[in-house]
Structure 1
Amino acid sequence: MTPVRVGVFGLLGSGNLGNDGSLEAVLGYLRAEHPGAVVDALCGGPEAVTARYGIPATRLHWYRGEYRTASRAGAIAGKGLGKVVDAFRTASWVRRHDVVIVPGMGVLEATLPLRPWGFPYALFLLCASGRLFGTRVALAGVGAGPIGDRATRALVRWSARLATYRSYRDAQSRDAMRAMGVDTARDEVHPDLAFALPAPPSPGASVPAGLVCVGVMDFHGGNDDRPQAEEIHRRYLDGTTRFVRALVEEGRPVRLLTGDACDAPVVAAILDAVDSPLVTAAEAASLADLMKETAAAGTVVATRYHNLVCALKAGTPTLALSYAAKSDALMAGMGLAAYCHPAREVDPGRLLEQFRELEKNAADLRRTLAERNAATARLLEHQFTAMTAALFPKTDPAHAPTLRETP
């Protein structure tokens, strides 16, 4: 019997640890529940995906400069031609598969700057090709949110409508899609896919006393904040730096975390401004690495969504520098709604007050997180069961053992 052919799609292998963590969770599900599936990827960083996960991968965009600003005529022409070529490349790739899964990620939102002809256009090509060729396309555990730009909103709305299966990582994502005119009556909400990754081991007694992990981000606001982007970034960096300096002045060791390659300049700026041996930077290459870092800390203060997921999964009391409603929803779902601080207006004094409250209640919060993590594991089991029912009909030989190679 012909094995079921499964593709995974997205900005994977491009330096964002959260995206790659969602991919890792889906690959774990496929290998456990559908070991006969033949898996490959259409993604942003094919070399990295193949090297790390051992699956064949193809570059998402024909034009290699897709995500660089095009100012010269040649670059503009290259991008334009790439849109046409990508339509045929995506259709050809989708046609070779029975199932395509978009694993988590905020693919239906605009909480960070993006252009409609970038990833929203790529996602629309995927979903339209799936409908055209009868390939089942799943948007699994994705994030969504209100979108102001008309073209981006239209592409996102049609992508969701054309998908075979949709589930969301929080209720507000489903509400946002309903507000855009998508019928969400059969769509379900489940915890973020990264919660399905293995929990980190206990760090033992080697943890520095009072260690605080501070997760930073190259934050410039959302898609509608482009005119104020630099001012937003300056306030964020200044407030975060002052908070780190205050901890160091109390003799507290601080470990800086990132979640994307683009965050490195923020780390460098804080290290330069504080200039203390008490401040160090982690070199995490995966969410598993981030979970180990957060498990070794007494407390975590973080901005990136998947930095928060890692800390919460590790059971470490966490305070969110929240840059979008998804962070607030995540913290509320894990019982830490009181520990959110706006990333757009970091107030070091108020942040320190919230941090001290977090530490004072740390023992109770660890018990709360243990309970919520157990409940989250049960909910994710239902997520994967629902995916199997929607994407792998019993007639598919998905459970038949086979070599994991593309035709």
Structure 2
Amino acid sequence: MTPVNRPPVRVGVFGLLGSGNLGNDGSLEAVLGHLRTAHPEAVVDALCGGPEAVTARFGIPATRLHWYRGEYRTASRTGAVAAKAVGKLLDPFRTAAWVRRHDVVIVPGMGVLEATLPLRPWGFPYALFLLCASGRLSGTPVALVSVGAAGIRRRSTRTLVRWSARLAAYRSYRDAPSRDAMRAMGVDTSRDEVYPDLAFSLPSPPAGEPLGPAGRAGPPTGTVCVGVMAFHGSNDDRARAGEIHRRYLDGTIRFVRTLVGEGRTVRLLTGDGVDAPVVAAILDAVESPLVTAAEVTSLADLMKETAAADTVVATRYHNLICALKAGTPTLALTYATKSEALMDRMGLGAYCHSAREVDADRLLEQFRALEQHAAELRGTLAERNLVAARQVGQQFTALTAALFPAAAPDRAHDQAPIHAQTQAHAHDLREAQ
């Protein structure tokens, strides 16, 4: 049988996609762009959080990740608790059946191996474990591509994440601290590589004119984009989540109010639907026509906004990526090592401020320094973006070599490179927990 007569490769993509997080959907967009360019014959579908949204936007069939639609809502009534329990029993069979229908499954980017935001072990960590275990049992390779990871204190979550990583056939990370975290959790990372976030492969917008108060193009006005987040700390901060959020919000409001007092135009950016209350709180507190909220539905929208700004101050990880990729001097309100690693990679490591301890005076001082060095930083970002784009291209080349070998027609032979890699990790299955 010749390669022309072989059936098309069946590729599944998996994750909290279509659920309102622009960063997650941006990672999916990057992988789909690669598949459509390098492997146009591939048949692609998704197992994801928001199947309707994924199908509408990306044009691929999609299946709901969990049997129970209210998986990520707190179950208080008896019926909801019972339905969630039933879902936990059915999801292993649903996941296994979906995985078996594919030649390979890709988890595109995202922080799937971390708990830097509040996370329940029996939500997504459990779903990821089911995916990776199903892949190992059925012989379908599961690839974790440029994913984020971080140390996890909670034993149940850490166990699920560790075994998910061990059972995956291919792993790469979006930064070195992610690989270090998995090594510290007992995963053999000797064959795992580090590449930039997949979003660096997305098209960059042309440099735009600064946006006026109503979002219209106009003469330079010193526009500052401020990316906000419904930030309540990490999974380990639940006891003081309210205090952390109040401090973050109060500091951000003071910062925005000072900029407005100087006649600066401020554009508020989000990265997830849950951020809307933070935007509303800032608009109510500042009450100025100089402060407006951008309507963004994709990373492309975020990049256009940040490209049109003079400077950016942002919290969400993919807000930072969009601003840096657009070449705009950026100050990061960091809540996890991934943000600090990203800023270091892009040459702006000096411009980080803790989102947990927002000090408006100190933040303003750092912001002034950012503006003073803006021209120099734009040059640095231009150079670093070229490097990042080249490295993401290398990631896709490595992914193709591992998952799409153009050798013999039968599936077992085609997947030999992947199975050779997974055999190196086979001893993990025999280790005691």
Report the CA distance between 1:204 and its aligned residue: 4.0
Candidates 185, 189, 196, aligned match of 1:191: 196
Pairing 1:7–2:9 present: no
Q: Identify the residue that residue 140 of structure 2 maps to in structure 1.
A: 135
Question: Where do residues 161-310 of structure 1 align in structure 2 (5 Å cutoff)?
Answer: 161-204=166-209, 206-207=217-218, 208-310=220-322
User: 2:207·2:326 contact (CA, 8 Å) conserved in 1?
Assistant: no
* Whole-angstrom CA distance in 2 between matches of 1:395 and 1:60: 33
Candidates 303, 308, 325, aligned match of 2:337: 325
Q: Identify the residue that residue 347 of structure 2 maps to in structure 1.
A: 335
Candidates 52, 60, 65, aligned match of 1:47: 52
Provide the TM-score with structure 1 as the length reference.
0.97
How big is each residue's C-alpha offset from its partner over 1:177-214, in whole Å with a ceiling of 9 and x where there is no partner? 00010000000000000011000122147354200000
The residue type paired with residue 158 of structure 2 is: R
SS of structure 2 residue aligned to 1:345:
coil
User: 1:255·1:281 contact (CA, 8 Å) conserved in 2?
Assistant: yes
Higher RCO, 1 vs 2 (CA within 8 Å, ≥6 residues apart): 1
* Whole-angstrom CA distance in 1 between matches of 2:39 and 2:140: 17
* Whole-angstrom CA distance in 2 between matches of 1:167 and 1:27: 17
How big is each residue's C-alpha offset from its partner over 1:223-269, in whole Å with a ceiling of 9 and x where there is no partner? 00000000000000000000000000000000000000000000000
Candidates 25, 28, 35, aligned match of 2:33: 28
User: 1:291·1:310 contact (CA, 8 Å) conserved in 2?
Assistant: yes
Question: Where do residues 357-372 of structure 1 align in structure 2 (5 Å cutoff)?
Answer: 357-372=369-384
Return closer, same or farther for 1:275/1:163 CA change in 2, 3 Å cut-off.
same
Report the CA distance between 1:342 and its aligned residue: 0.4
User: 1:3·1:396 contact (CA, 8 Å) conserved in 2?
Assistant: no
User: 1:316·1:366 contact (CA, 8 Å) conserved in 2?
Assistant: yes
Pairing 1:71–2:76 present: yes
The residue type paired with residue 364 of structure 2 is: L
The residue type paired with residue 69 of structure 2 is: R
Q: Identify the residue that residue 92 of structure 1 maps to in structure 2.
A: 97
> Please, what is the CA RMSD of the aligned residues?
1.1
Provide the TM-score with structure 2 as the length reference.
0.91
* Whole-angstrom CA distance in 1 between matches of 2:179 and 2:380: 26
The residue type paired with residue 130 of structure 1 is: G
How big is each residue's C-alpha offset from its partner over 1:258-311, in whole Å with a ceiling of 9 and x where there is no partner? 000000000000000000000000000000000000000000000000000000
The residue type paired with residue 399 of structure 2 is: M
* Whole-angstrom CA distance in 1 between matches of 2:175 and 2:151: 14
Report the CA distance between 1:396 and its aligned residue: 7.1
* Whole-angstrom CA distance in 2 between matches of 1:267 and 1:230: 17
The residue type paired with residue 301 of structure 1 is: V
How big is each residue's C-alpha offset from its partner over 1:331-361, in whole Å with a ceiling of 9 and x where there is no partner? 0000000000000011000000000000000
The residue type paired with residue 271 of structure 2 is: G
* Whole-angstrom CA distance in 2 between matches of 1:292 and 1:396: 45
Candidates 109, 116, 120, aligned match of 2:114: 109
Gaps of 5+ in 2: 1-5, 211-216, 411-433
The residue type paired with residue 223 of structure 2 is: L
Pairing 1:18–2:23 present: yes
Q: Identify the residue that residue 3 of structure 2 maps to in structure 1.
A: none
* Whole-angstrom CA distance in 2 between matches of 1:127 and 1:392: 19
SS of structure 1 residue aligned to 2:333:
strand
How big is each residue's C-alpha offset from its partner over 1:348-394, in whole Å with a ceiling of 9 and x where there is no partner? 00000000000000000000000000011111111001101111121
SS of structure 2 residue aligned to 1:6:
strand
User: 1:106·1:144 contact (CA, 8 Å) conserved in 2?
Assistant: yes
How big is each residue's C-alpha offset from its partner over 1:108-152, in whole Å with a ceiling of 9 and x where there is no partner? 000000010000000000000000111010000000000000000
Report the CA distance between 1:50 and its aligned residue: 0.4
Segments of 4+ moved more than 3 angstroms? 204-208, 395-398
Return closer, same or farther for 1:190/1:396 CA change in 2, 3 Å cut-off.
farther
SS of structure 1 residue aligned to 2:356:
helix
Q: Which moved more, 1:199-208 or 1:86-95?
A: 199-208
Q: Identify the residue that residue 422 of structure 2 maps to in structure 1.
A: none
Pairing 1:378–2:390 present: yes
How big is each residue's C-alpha offset from its partner over 1:148-194, in whole Å with a ceiling of 9 and x where there is no partner? 00000000000000000000000000000000100000000000000
* Whole-angstrom CA distance in 1 between matches of 2:403 and 2:81: 39
Report the CA distance between 1:397 and its aligned residue: 7.2
* Whole-angstrom CA distance in 2 between matches of 1:225 and 1:387: 36
The percent identity for this pair of structures is 79
* Whole-angstrom CA distance in 2 between matches of 1:232 and 1:351: 16
Candidates 124, 128, 131, aligned match of 1:126: 131
User: 2:146·2:198 contact (CA, 8 Å) conserved in 1?
Assistant: yes
Number of equivalenced pairs: 398
